[in-house]
Chain A
């Protein structure tokens, strides 16, 4: 075609020639493809897409063509330029993606490194067990009753139908505040809270009382002078031993799973009549499923109700209590009572979180 108009500058005619445009595009595509990274691509860009590059500058030559040839050449130049820009954009996108992928790999960390700057804390396992049990009772509508740990003898004994001559009421078993006739002891059981609850609340009442208790045992693998119990008391119209069993069975299932249940053995307690000791069927015992001694229970002795101001014609009640240490012991297979009282952080960390 260039041959058709010999009066024009051959160079200008040459770039507008289809072959020349084709060649420029091919060369650009080759250079873009050869660019291995974004920097190389940026480096070759001016040679093909810069203002002075052949194809962009070809547009400026169009005006020199005769009108008949101008439209035709203009279309050709635009098409070539479009192809050139698409080739560049595609290569740019590909290289950007490559670069991004490489950066994310480079920035990767080892997520298995230790992350805790601080040693973990823990609740004490005895607290956790007590709260677990309290929560079961809260869900049944019980409230948490409290009483002093340093308590009047009357609340610990007389109120519970334990007379002045009872063996447990001696310096051999119970801690007395000095002088021994002070009438004040360290409560030997949480049952004293029963008496306080009855004297301060109006039936019907359903209360549970977890807390610390004290007896003059030396610390060894199976005894501790300071231990903890949880006591329950319900006073209502028409309560029976059946309701007591239902309550203990429910607690057993809530604590130890759907297979758990209780078994009663007749026993004697001054403050309940009839009385029983109860065992729980504990499927998860480390020596295999078995009955485990858990606590004592019974129908509140009418003498206790009367001493604590409850109308025995209208109300009956039941009471029960168990050792928190004992519960912890079999639930977690704790072998030595001393582990529970010495405050070794390894014990609490091992059992105290999320149990």
Chain B
């Protein structure tokens, strides 16, 4: 909202004209000052009022051109060429003289054009930076007192600072000069006057037009007055258009300008109907299904039955209540009789209607926040007085005032509550005086209780905490002391939280860069990964309003996002990239249900809470890794080494260790991995192997689809399936010497080394301290279809030096077990 400082100054005794002081006071009150505008920003030099004295139409050119002579207060008239046609002799206009500059660095100089010397320019609103109106030049309201040659900036009020404010949704009363002046008075400790404190004329007699309110809950108060004898030609006075210009509102016609002026000054949106276009009594009611209304903006709208509040006559809807009037009853250039309406509407209804129609008019923005219901009559009085004065109108008949407002409930607080909430020791007298200063009526109840009747304009004061906030706010938040509370001793991070940190740090140490991606994916992502229709990862939760229609799904795998980051990095010139993410997936439940919404009022039942949880997808924590290019760089030490499947497995093993989990790899074949270079990671839980993730080189088809370099790898791990490791028991550290035996076994090529490992380990028994594979060989020394695996066994006893016989027995037993399980035999 834009409010010129000079308008506020009419109603509050500002101690200074320094706008910074006002700005600080507003900030301290909780009103955000987004900007301070000067409407003459960008203007310099002679920009003056001019009165058009003579117009010569030049018709010899492709388009009509006018050579005007304009009175700018001097002896001679100023000759100016102008292409606009929307003005006449005697019109008051703004003239930029040679040597002046308009917003946007537009320098004005005398020049010869269309065979005439043009000594300046007659300006449009847009050229002056005052709006988008470029249809013609800006014709100012007729003003016999205006003196040509005076500075147009002063005459138009462009030198006043204009505050652009952002208001919180609870303070509808501040969307007006009235509310801001009162609030500034409180903040600055100075007097303010209420522009709504106007005398109500005696509008006695039969009402000017019959009105019925069929929905008093939606429209607790409706006030109206008929005016006749309006001069439709009567222009808005200069001071009125100046105020509207400053507030960023376009001047339309006198009746409309008056209602807009009253809205900004008092905060009461109004509407003026051309009464000659209204048929029969005005009825306020809810829309019925199928009704339609063309609003002032020319849009034909389907009304929502039971939701939208309407102003209707015998012909049907004539206004979308609180939001926008109807086109059919609009004030026109022939309007002589108007019905002025000022009402109070239910904020929730207005909010729903405005949102439903996407129509956030100035009126709707105020009504949805709450407009003081006491304002309807002062607003009508103010508007009527202006129309009487400037349009020669007369009041016709008595005032309609249908007032069904429920009584305003009191708020009862303990006088000590503000101190207990804030930590500032307010005396009861301070509490009382602060509340009275903002317009509340305060009486003492029993004991230390205060009974507070909030002022009519403050709908936000309904509970004790609301009142407490006012006491603290108006005495200044800076009074609140800074005291550190003593929390009970905490338990630190949970094991899962610690593990996620350790995993992330471990991977960063190994050269992986953390790269959290958006959790949005699309079918194309799954297609690129080669996931078939039945793949469980394609069972997703869809968003109703995704950012991109191409990515409307919540991720069930982190690979698409991470691979996009990989591609982006490669595209930006990185050659060797290794990324990881620790994040959450959204895996739909088998049975999809809607979550109940048990409302704001009370604690939901256990059933409702359980039903909410049952409607949410499972959201396991996951880890994903991707890599492309080199893992080790080439350098003075020798050649580099490409990142391959084994680096990712090693990283996953390290990540597992960081979470106290022992991961083992098994051969697997699953999309999106190369079927011959894919591992599944298993972890033992209660004696059973559980698959917790996959790793390997990406499938060539996936690499092609995603335009990734050959050999790019990926891995994904479900962190929530890693078991919570039991507290391990310390092993005795033997000080006796180990016996190292090397053994090479021959197995079929397709026997996984991991199985040989397992067999040797099982067979060697308790003496085996460490088992290491140090060579894999295929070639002439072993038969076709076989490979040789060379292992080092470290054997050690806890209580003695092993004899050679004991060591060889353990080795032989390991060999025997490997022979039994995987057909291994000793390499000869």
Are A264 and B478 in contact, with the CB atoms below 8 A?
Answer: yes
Give the interface segment out of B61-69, B205-213, B630-638, B727-735: B630-638
Is B568 located at the chain interface by the 8 A CB criterion?
yes
CA distance A246 to B242 in the complex (A): 49
Report which residue of B420, B469, B576 has the largest number of chain A beta carbons within 10 angstroms of its beta carbon: B469
CA distance A225 to B543 in the complex (A): 13
Are B490 and A266 in contact, with the CB atoms below 8 A?
Answer: no
Are A273 and B465 in contact, with the CB atoms below 8 A?
Answer: yes
At the interface, is chain B mostly helix, strand, loop or mixed? loop
Are B480 and A245 in contact, with the CB atoms below 8 A?
Answer: yes
Are A178 and B514 in contact, with the CB atoms below 8 A?
Answer: no
Are B493 and A138 in contact, with the CB atoms below 8 A?
Answer: yes
Is A240 located at the chain interface by the 8 A CB criterion?
yes
Query: Which chain B residue shows the least CB distance to A171?
Result: B545
Query: Which chain A residue shows the least CB distance to B471?
Result: A274
Is B422 located at the chain interface by the 8 A CB criterion?
yes
* Chain A residue contacts of B514, Cβ below 8 A: 121-124, 127, 348, 352
Give the interface segment out of B313-321, B347-355, B436-444: B347-355
* Chain A residue contacts of B169, Cβ below 8 A: 167, 268
CA distance A175 to B507 in the complex (A): 32
Are B485 and A176 in contact, with the CB atoms below 8 A?
Answer: no
Query: Which chain B residue shows the least CB distance to A308?
Result: B603
Are B595 and A152 in contact, with the CB atoms below 8 A?
Answer: yes
Distance in Å from the Cβ of B344 to the closest Cβ of chain A?
17
CA distance A144 to B493 in the complex (A): 7
* Chain B residue contacts of A286, Cβ below 8 A: none
Are B465 and A240 in contact, with the CB atoms below 8 A?
Answer: no
* Chain A residue contacts of B429, Cβ below 8 A: none
With A154-B596, A176-B544: A240-B508 Cβ-Cβ less than 8 Å:
no
CA distance A240 to B602 in the complex (A): 24
Are B517 and A343 in contact, with the CB atoms below 8 A?
Answer: yes
Give the interface segment out of A79-87, A88-96, A179-187: A179-187
* Chain B residue contacts of A226, Cβ below 8 A: 518-519
CA distance A175 to B586 in the complex (A): 14
With A176-B544, A246-B483, A266-B30: A273-B469 Cβ-Cβ less than 8 Å:
yes
CA distance A154 to B542 in the complex (A): 19
With A127-B514, A240-B422: A165-B351 Cβ-Cβ less than 8 Å:
yes
Is A118 located at the chain interface by the 8 A CB criterion?
yes
* Chain A residue contacts of B351, Cβ below 8 A: 165, 167
CA distance A144 to B498 in the complex (A): 11
Query: Which chain A residue shows the least CB distance to B26?
Result: A265
Are B619 and A180 in contact, with the CB atoms below 8 A?
Answer: no
Are A241 and B480 in contact, with the CB atoms below 8 A?
Answer: yes
* Chain B residue contacts of A118, Cβ below 8 A: 510-511, 631-633
CA distance A151 to B481 in the complex (A): 36
CA distance A218 to B507 in the complex (A): 31
Are B612 and A154 in contact, with the CB atoms below 8 A?
Answer: yes
Distance in Å from the Cβ of B567 to the closest Cβ of chain A?
10
CA distance A152 to B613 in the complex (A): 7
Which of B487, B490, B504, B595 makes the CB contact (< 8 A) with A123? B504
Query: Which chain B residue shows the least CB distance to A214?
Result: B519
Are A299 and B465 in contact, with the CB atoms below 8 A?
Answer: yes
* Chain A residue contacts of B478, Cβ below 8 A: 263-264
Are B617 and A243 in contact, with the CB atoms below 8 A?
Answer: no
Give the interface segment out of B10-18, B99-107, B577-585, B766-774: B577-585
Is A250 located at the chain interface by the 8 A CB criterion?
yes
Are B487 and A206 in contact, with the CB atoms below 8 A?
Answer: yes
Are A149 and B584 in contact, with the CB atoms below 8 A?
Answer: yes
Are A341 and B518 in contact, with the CB atoms below 8 A?
Answer: yes
* Chain B residue contacts of A154, Cβ below 8 A: 595-599, 604, 608, 612
* Chain A residue contacts of B547, Cβ below 8 A: 216, 218-219, 225
Are A276 and B508 in contact, with the CB atoms below 8 A?
Answer: no
Can you report 8 residue pairs joining A to B where beta carbons are below 8 Å apart?
A122-B513, A131-B501, A158-B599, A180-B545, A242-B424, A268-B169, A268-B170, A274-B473
7 A-B pairs with least C-beta separation:
A242-B423, A266-B30, A343-B565, A183-B595, A240-B423, A141-B487, A268-B168
